[in-house]
A and B are shown apart, each in its own frame.
Chain A
Amino acid sequence: MNALFVITGLGIFSLLAEFGNLKKWLTGFVVAGLAAAVVLAALDWNTAVPYFSHMLVFDNLALAFTALISILTIIWFWLSADYFTTGTHRTDRTSLIVFAVVGAVIMASFNNMAMLFLGIEILSMSLYVLAGSRKDSLSSTEAAFKYFLMGSFATGFLLFGIALVYGATGSFHLHTIAATLTANPSGLPSFFYAGVLMMLIGLAFKISAVPFHFWAPDVYSGSPTTITAFMSTVVKVAAIAAFVRLFSTCFLVVEPTWSKVLQVIAVLTLVIPNVTAVYQNNVKRMLAYSSVGHVGYILLAFIASPSETGTIFYYLTTYSVSSLAAFSVLHLVEGNSEEVTISYFNGLFKRNAWLAVTITIAMLSLAGIPPLAGFFGKYMVFAQAIRNGYTGMVIVAVITSLIGVYYYFKVIIAMYFNESTTPPVIELRASHKTLLFVLIALTFALGLFPDMIMSLFQA
């Protein structure tokens, strides 16, 4: 909880930093504050204290997600330093990012439907603005508008679902609802099930699961690359945290009503984005489809065993680190151009070996090649699914990850074997080199020592 207070304070401070001569120190201050939030989350470990008459509960899962979200944001601030130094409204942009993190933390720790709704809205509303933060660019405007439209449309479904569930159970508290469902499993009105399914649809929009994913590639490719990196890591982690929290605590009793639907969604989410990504020539769009595809593996782990959240958390960690590495390289390669095709990467190894090696490792990890982090993430998901008897879905998932290898390798082949056509050598600053080194090291470390994460979740 103290972590949430600190992050909220940082957001307000960022707004006030416009006065006085505080702007220069702002990013450093925010990063220090987020590091403090990680420490505070670690200090609260194993306490599970409820706050504000059980509106928020900081149990271990919520604390782990809080720490992960804060760490990812720190790395994100590192890679996107120039997003704040160039361009105007530095304080506003910083505070929007920090408030988005506040929303993300609330989404990881809610214990009441009202907090779920407010968390999602705090997060989304900051992002609508950030997606359109390149004001002169038509594609940025289009991304912001589509994101806004689809976001509020999804919120409508979520709210209608919440209202129906409230009507059937008489409460917004997750534990009261779960208790009502356990006590009275057969006497529920039929509109309760409609409510659960509408909440499922609303959250499927937020985690961008097929067939509710169509906004994601447009928004990801239209937004500024740094914001896309934020959306595909921090925001995705928060959305999945909210999804897991809601369906593994509150609606676990009525699993038969949603598990079949979720299985169909999971299979579609595995197949469609991975196949579509093969046809992409724009790298940012390809990464967007790949990020939608990764949701499929997470859903597979969730269907197999909703209560084993360790696997999902580990998968999300590995995915986010590799994805941040890929987006940092993309951001450094693209320069000022709005659309980066695969031919942009031609001969990158000769132009700058650091960038080429980093994105190779990131892509191999996303594709799931051992001994990198992504491989063990996938391995644990598949193992968990097979243990619980979902062999058919695992076969589909293995095939789609093989398709994934194909499109990730298109970029790698372009870097090493094609002759360079676009600008020559790219110079890197020392801070960027350190960042790339840290991300590579994390990708290897997470792969070689998965117990670092997994041991957190063994009771």
Chain B
Amino acid sequence: MIKTIPLDYYLWLAATLFTIGVLGVLYRRNAIIIFMCIELMLNAVNLLLVAFSTYLNDASGQVFVFFIMAVAAAEVAVGLAILVMMYRNTKSVDINILNRLKW
């Protein structure tokens, strides 16, 4: 089923999603949206791994996807905890407030 679409299409789709994620991290100012963009980057990787795994007839790529999903969930838990701490200290989730440390 997956193989009815050429591999190149998956590559381009994953690369596009990844780029959207990167640009979101770089340009958005709301911390929660930045988290979502990081998730988008990781999910682009998952998509790519599954596509490669199917085309190579090798299951290890799909196992790797499970690792990524588990770690991403843990990472978001830590990230949201830090975000709550930041909100308690500053009453905002706008990252422009975080400018105490520079140069």
Q: Main SS of chain B's interface residues? A: helix
B1-29: CB near A (< 8 Å → 1, else 0) gives 00000000001001000100110010000
Q: Is the CB of B18 within 8 A of A156?
A: yes
- Of A137-145, A311-319, A356-364, the segment with at least 4 beta carbons within 8 Å of chain B is A137-145
Cα of A136 to Cα of B48 in the assembled complex, Å: 41
B101-A121 in contact (CB<8A): no
Contact between A129 and B48 (Cβ–Cβ < 8 Å)?
no
> In the complex, which residues of chain B have a beta carbon less than 8 angstroms from the beta carbon of A129?
78, 81-82
The chain B residue with its CB closest to the CB of A198 is B18
Within 8 A of B (CB), among A85-102: none
Are the CB atoms of A117 and B82 closer together than 8 Å? Answer: no
Which B residues lie within 8 Å of A141 (CB)? 82, 85-86, 89-90
| Interface stretch (choices A164-172, A247-255, A258-266, A322-330) | A164-172
- A125:B74 contact, CB within 8 angstroms: yes
Q: How far is the CB of B88 from chain A (nearest CB, A)?
A: 8
Which residue of B41, B68, B81, B101 contacts A142 across the interface (Cβ within 8 Å)?
Answer: B101
Complex CA gap A136/B64 in Å reads 38
> Given A152-B38, A172-B60, does the pair A138, B18 have CB atoms closer than 8 Å?
no
User: A117, B101: Cβ atoms under 8 Å?
Assistant: no
Smallest CB–CB gap between A444 and chain B, Å?
35
Interface check A146, CB cutoff 8 A? yes
Residue numbers in A under 8 Å from B42 (CB-CB): 155-156, 159
Q: Which of A163, A170, A217 contacts B48 (CB 8 A)?
A: A163
For A132, give its contact among B11, B60, B64, B85 (CB under 8 Å). B85
A296 within 8 A of B: no
Closest-CB distance, B35 to chain A (whole angstroms): 8
Beta-carbon nearest neighbor of A161 in chain B: B45
B101 engages A148 (CB within 8 Å):
no
Q: Are A163 and B49 in contact (CB under 8 A)?
A: yes
A406 interface contact, C-beta 8 A? no
Closest Cβ of chain B to A196, distance in Å, is 15
Please give the number of chain B residues whose Cβ is less than 8 angstroms from any Cβ of chain A in the complex: 44
Q: Is the CB of A118 within 8 A of B67?
A: yes
Q: Quote the shortest CB–CB distance from A254 to chain B (angstroms).
A: 19
Among B21, B52, B78, B81, find the residue whose CB has the most chain A CB atoms closer than 10 A. Answer: B78
Contacts A141-B82, A145-B86, A164-B48 given; indicate if A153 touches B25 (C-beta within 8 A): yes
- Given A153-B38, A160-B44, A166-B52, do A139 and B78 touch, yes or no (CB 8 Å)? no
Question: Which residues of B in the span 56-100 have a Cβ within 8 Å of any Cβ on A?
Answer: 56, 58, 60-61, 63-64, 67-68, 71, 74-75, 78-79, 81-83, 85-86, 89-90, 95, 98, 100
Q: Whose C-beta in chain A lies nearest to the C-beta of B18? A: A160
Contacts of A128 in B (CB 8 A): 78-79, 82
B82 — which chain A residues lie within 8 A by C-beta? 128-129, 132, 141, 144-145, 148
Binary contact track A73-115/B, C-beta < 8 Å → 1, others 0: 0000000000000000000000000000000000000000110
- CB-based contact B101/A149 at 8 Å: no
Q: In residues 363-420 of chain A, which contact B (Cβ within 8 Å)?
A: none
* Pairwise interchain contact B64-A114, C-beta atoms closer than 8 A: yes
The docked-state distance in angstroms from the alpha carbon of A145 to that of B81 is 10
In the assembled complex, the Cα of A172 lies from the Cα of B89 at a distance in Å of 43
Q: Which of A113, A145, A221 contacts B98 (CB 8 A)?
A: A145
Cβ contact within 8 Å between B78 and A148: yes
Q: How far does the Cβ of B20 sit from chain A's closest Cβ, in whole Å?
A: 12
* Contact of A114 with B67 in the complex, beta carbons under 8 Å: yes
Contact indicator B85/A163 (Cβ below 8 Å): no
Cβ of A429 < 8 Å from any Cβ of B?
no
Contact A163 B52 (CB under 8 A): yes
Nearest residue in B to A139 (C-beta to C-beta)?
A: B100
In the assembled complex, which residues on chain A have CB atoms less than 8 Å from the CB atom of B11? 167, 191
Quick check: B60 and A163 within 8 Å, CB to CB?
no
CA distance A144 to B100 in the complex (A): 13
Instruction: Kindly provide the distance from the CB of A199 to the nearest chain B CB, expressed in whole angstroms.
Output: 12
With A125-B74, A144-B82, A145-B82 known to touch, is A160 a contact of B45 (CB < 8 Å)? yes
Chain B residues close to A by CB (< 8 Å): 11, 14, 18, 21-22, 25, 31, 34, 38, 41-42, 44-45, 48-49, 51-52, 55-56, 58, 60-61, 63-64, 67-68, 71, 74-75, 78-79, 81-83, 85-86, 89-90, 95, 98, 100-103
Counting from the closest, the 4 A-B pairs by CB-CB distance are: A156-B41, A167-B52, A218-B101, A159-B45
18 contacts between A and B (CB under 8 A): A118-B67, A121-B75, A128-B82, A132-B82, A142-B100, A145-B82, A145-B83, A148-B78, A148-B79, A160-B14, A160-B44, A162-B45, A166-B52, A167-B52, A172-B60, A172-B64, A221-B101, A276-B103
